[in-house]
Chains A and B, each alone.
Chain A
Amino acid sequence: MFDEKDVLLEAKHVTRRFPAQGGRELIACNDINLKLYKGKTLGLVGESGCGKSTFMRFLVWLDRPTEGEVIYQGKDITKLKGRELHEMRQHIQMVFQDPSTSFNPKMKIRDIVCEPLLNYGRIRHSQKDQKARELLEMVELPGDFADRFPHNMSGGQRQRVAIARALALEPEIIIMDEATSALDVSVQETIIELVTKLQKEKNITIGFICHNLGFIQSFSHQIAVMYLGNIVEVMPGENMAKICCHPYSKALLDAVFDTKMDFSKKIDPIKGEPPSPLNVPPGCPFQDRCDKCAAICREKRPHLQELSPGHEVACHLFSKEGSV
C-alpha cells in the first residue's frame, strides 16, 4: 500500500539519551525506525512521556539524536548547518504542543503569523495586513484578531494561530504536536478538513502526534504506537481498532472515553507502575504491564516484524521465530 519510492523522510536507528540526575541516563527514544511517505500522514500515539515530541523535534532541528540519522533526499538532515539548514527549514514546519510558549508575547498576531513569510521573502511588508487576515480566517478566527497579542486570546485561539503560521509557508512537511488538543470537536473537524484538503492539493507530508485515537485514525495513512521510547506497532490508519494487536495498543483502545460507553462502569486503568525511562528493562519494554508476559519477554527485546503489508508489530506473541 505504501510504495518505497514515495518515502520522503526516513528515521534510521534513532536514539536519544539525556543525562539525568545522579549520573544516570534517560533513554527518551530507543532505536527508532520510521518512514514518512510523500503526501501521507503518519499518526504517532503513545503514553505521556514516551518520547513522541523528542522524536519529532529531530525533524525540525530543535534537537539532535545521540545516535542514528534522519534521511531526506539522500542526506542526513540532522547534520545540516548554515545556509543549507536555513533553506531546508522552510520546507519543514512544526506546530508545537504548547503554542503559548512558542510565541513572542510582545508581538502582535499579525506579525506572528507573517513572520516566516517575511523571513523567506515570500511577501512584502505592504502585503502583511491582507495576508494575516487571510491566514486567520482560514483557521476560523476573525481577521481582526491580527491586532491582538497572544495573551488576549483563548488557548484554542492561540493554537489556531500556530497552525496558520505553519501552513503559511506551504511547507512540504508539517509536524503537528498535539496541534488540535485545545480545540472543541467542531472546530477540530474544520481544521482537519482544511489540513487534509491542503494535503491533497499540495501533496503535503504530515507527522501528527495526538492522544485522541478516534480522531487520529480519521486522517492518518499510517499509525505508529510508541511505548517507553520504542515503536511497538506500525499499521495502516484505517481500521486501527480492528487490526491492532500489540497488547499496549489494545490497552490504549480500552481506555478511550466514548460517548457511547457504559457510564456506570468503573474506570479500570492499565495495571502496573508507569514505566521509567531511567530504568528501561532488558527485553520487552511493556513486560511489567502485560498480562501475556512470558519468560522470553524479560530476556529478549522484540523487534518490529511484518504481519501483513504495512502492519508491523514488536511482540513475541507474533514472533515468527517460534511461539512464546
Chain B
Amino acid sequence: MALLEINGIDIAYGKQVTVKDCTITLDQAEICSIVGESGSGKTTVIRAVLGLLPGGGKVTKGDIIYDGRSLLSLNAREWRKLRGHDVSMIFQDSGAMMNQTRLIGKSFVEYIRTHEKISKKDAWKKGAEMLGRMRLPDPDRIMHSYPFQLSGGMRQRVGIAMGMTYEPKLLLADEPTSALDVTTQAQIVRQMMELRDEYGTSIIIVTHDIGVASYMGDKIVVMKNGQIEDQGGRKHILEESSNEYTRKLIGAVPSLGGKRYV
C-alpha cells in the first residue's frame, strides 16, 4: 500500500480553481521530485497535503489518503498530531516566515519542546546539533542570532534543520536548496537522501533545479498551469518524453559552457 495517495484533487483559491485533477502516489522510502512552471501550483499541492493551504484555499474534489486514511476529514487536533510526528515540511520561504523578533534558538527550542518532553537546555543542545549537521558554522552563534543577522541561505538551512529534526515518515520540501551554493546544496541533498536510506522517509521535493530533481527523484512530476503535464523516471523526463513542455524545460536548463546571452 502506498504511504501517500493524492487522488484526483482539485484545489481552489476562493472560486478560482488553481490545481486540476492532480494525482500522485508515493510509496514508503520513495522520493518524488516536482518540477515545473512558476505559478503552476507546486506549493499549493504540497501545502494541501499538510492541511496548510493559505486562507481561501480549499481542496474541492478528490481525496488525499495518508497511511490508509483520508486527510481531508481530520480535525485540528488530529492535524497537530500528524504534523508533529509523521509529516514535516520545509517551506519555500522559511526564512521570511520566521518570527523576525525572536532569537533562532528560542524558536527552535520551542519547536523541539512541542515534539518531545525535554528540558530547555537539552532542547538547545539538540537544536544546535541539527544546525551543525546543516553545515552551519558556529551553531551556538546561530542560535543566539535573530533571523535578520543571518544570510538568506543560513535562514533556509535553519528551516531545513527544523524539518529534519524528527526523522519524519513523510517530508515535504518546497525548494529547500534554492538559496544555497552548490557545495552546501550537495551536502543538504546528501542529508535528505540519508534520511530516506536510514529511516525510510518518503520525500516530495519541489525544485527548479532539474539536476537535483533528477538526482534525488525515483520519479519526477512535471507541472504546468495547475496540471500534471508529464511524469516518469529520470530517463523518461530527461531523454525520452515527447511532451512539449518537458522538452522546453529540459532545453532551458543552463549548463556551464553552454549558451551565452552577452
Residues on A close to B: CB < 8 A?
18, 20-21, 26, 41, 45-49, 52-54, 97-98, 100-101, 151-157, 159-160, 177-178, 181-189, 192-193, 196, 199-200, 211-215, 217-221, 237-242, 251-253, 255-261, 263, 267-270, 273-279
Query: Per a CB cutoff under 8 Å, which of B43, B252, B262 touches A221?
Result: B262
Given A220-B262, A268-B186, 9 more contacts at CB 8 Å?
A: A48-B152, A48-B179, A49-B150, A101-B96, A182-B38, A182-B175, A214-B256, A237-B262, A267-B193
What 1/0 flags go to B164-191 for Cβ under 8 Å of A?
Answer: 0000000000010011111111110110
Distance between A210 CB and nearest chain B CB, rounded to angstroms: 10
Partner-binding segment picked from B70-78, B114-122, B130-138: B130-138
Partner-binding segment picked from B4-12, B24-32, B82-90, B206-214: B206-214
In the A-B complex, the 4 residue pairs with the closest CB atoms: A156-B38, A48-B153, A257-B211, A276-B137
Q: Does B43 contact A154, Cβ atoms closer than 8 Å? A: yes
Measured CB to CB, the nearest residue on chain A to B245 is: A186
Residues on B close to A: CB < 8 A?
13, 35-39, 43, 54, 92-93, 95-96, 135-138, 140-141, 144-145, 149-154, 157, 175, 178-187, 189-190, 193, 208-212, 214-215, 234, 238, 248-250, 252-262
Q: Does B260 contact A238, Cβ atoms closer than 8 Å? A: yes
Query: Per a CB cutoff under 8 Å, which of B93, B145, B180 touches A155?
Result: B93
Complex Cα gap A127–B238 (Å): 46
Measured CB to CB, the nearest residue on chain A to B177 is: A211
Q: Does A259 contact B38, Cβ atoms closer than 8 Å? A: no
Measured CB to CB, the nearest residue on chain A to B217 is: A263
Which residues of the partner chain B approach A199 to less than 8 Å between Cβ atoms?
262
Q: Does A182 contact B183, Cβ atoms closer than 8 Å? A: no
Q: Does A53 contact B152, Cβ atoms closer than 8 Å? A: yes
Complex Cα gap A211–B178 (Å): 8
Q: Does A211 contact B179, Cβ atoms closer than 8 Å? A: yes
The winner among A177, A184, A186, A189 for most chain B CB atoms within 10 A is A184
Q: List 11 A-B contacts (CB under 8 A).
A: A41-B262, A101-B95, A178-B178, A181-B178, A211-B179, A213-B256, A251-B183, A252-B183, A257-B212, A260-B255, A263-B234
Complex Cα gap A278–B141 (Å): 9
Q: Does A218 contact B138, Cβ atoms closer than 8 Å? A: no
Complex Cα gap A21–B255 (Å): 41
Q: Does B254 contact A186, Cβ atoms closer than 8 Å? A: no
Q: Does A267 contact B189, Cβ atoms closer than 8 Å? A: yes
Query: Per a CB cutoff under 8 Å, which of A49, A211, A218 touches B260?
Result: A218
Which residues of the partner chain A approach B54 to less than 8 Å between Cβ atoms?
151
Distance between B177 CB and nearest chain A CB, rounded to angstroms: 9
Distance between A255 CB and nearest chain B CB, rounded to angstroms: 4
Query: Per a CB cutoff under 8 Å, which of B254, B257, B262 touches A241?
Result: B257
Query: Per a CB cutoff under 8 Å, which of B38, B154, B187, B250 touches A49?
Result: B154
Which residues of the partner chain A approach B238 to less than 8 Å between Cβ atoms?
259
Q: Does B183 contact A255, Cβ atoms closer than 8 Å? A: yes
Complex Cα gap A129–B136 (Å): 45
Q: Does B137 contact A273, Cβ atoms closer than 8 Å? A: yes
Query: Per a CB cutoff under 8 Å, which of A45, A97, A185 touches B252?
Result: A185
Q: Does A193 contact B257, Cβ atoms closer than 8 Å? A: no
Given A218-B260, A256-B211, A278-B138: A47 in contact with B92 (beta carbons within 8 A): no
Complex Cα gap A182–B193 (Å): 23
Which residues of the partner chain A approach B185 to less than 8 Å between Cβ atoms?
211, 255, 257
Complex Cα gap A186–B122 (Å): 46
Q: Does B180 contact A211, Cβ atoms closer than 8 Å? A: yes
Q: Does A276 contact B138, Cβ atoms closer than 8 Å? A: yes
Which residues of the partner chain A approach B178 to less than 8 Å between Cβ atoms?
178, 181-182
Which residues of the partner chain B approach A41 to less than 8 Å between Cβ atoms?
262
Which residues of the partner chain A approach B35 to less than 8 Å between Cβ atoms?
184
Given A48-B153, A263-B234: A274 in contact with B189 (beta carbons within 8 A): no
Complex Cα gap A211–B93 (Å): 17
Which residues of the partner chain A approach B151 to less than 8 Å between Cβ atoms?
48-49, 52-54
Measured CB to CB, the nearest residue on chain B to A261 is: B211
Measured CB to CB, the nearest residue on chain B to A51 is: B151
Measured CB to CB, the nearest residue on chain A to B259 is: A218
Q: Does A154 contact B179, Cβ atoms closer than 8 Å? A: no
Which residues of the partner chain B approach A218 to less than 8 Å between Cβ atoms?
254, 258-261
Query: Per a CB cutoff under 8 Å, which of B141, B182, B252 touches A211?
Result: B182
Distance between B148 CB and nearest chain A CB, rounded to angstroms: 9
Which residues of the partner chain A approach B255 to less than 8 Å between Cβ atoms?
214, 258-260
Which residues of the partner chain A approach B138 to less than 8 Å between Cβ atoms?
276, 278-279
The winner among A152, A185, A251, A278 for most chain B CB atoms within 10 A is A185
Q: Does B179 contact A181, Cβ atoms closer than 8 Å? A: yes
Q: Does B92 contact A185, Cβ atoms closer than 8 Å? A: no
Q: Does B152 contact A21, Cβ atoms closer than 8 Å? A: no
Distance between B245 CB and nearest chain A CB, rounded to angstroms: 8
Q: Does B137 contact A269, Cβ atoms closer than 8 Å? A: no
Which residues of the partner chain B approach A49 to less than 8 Å between Cβ atoms?
136-137, 150-151, 153-154
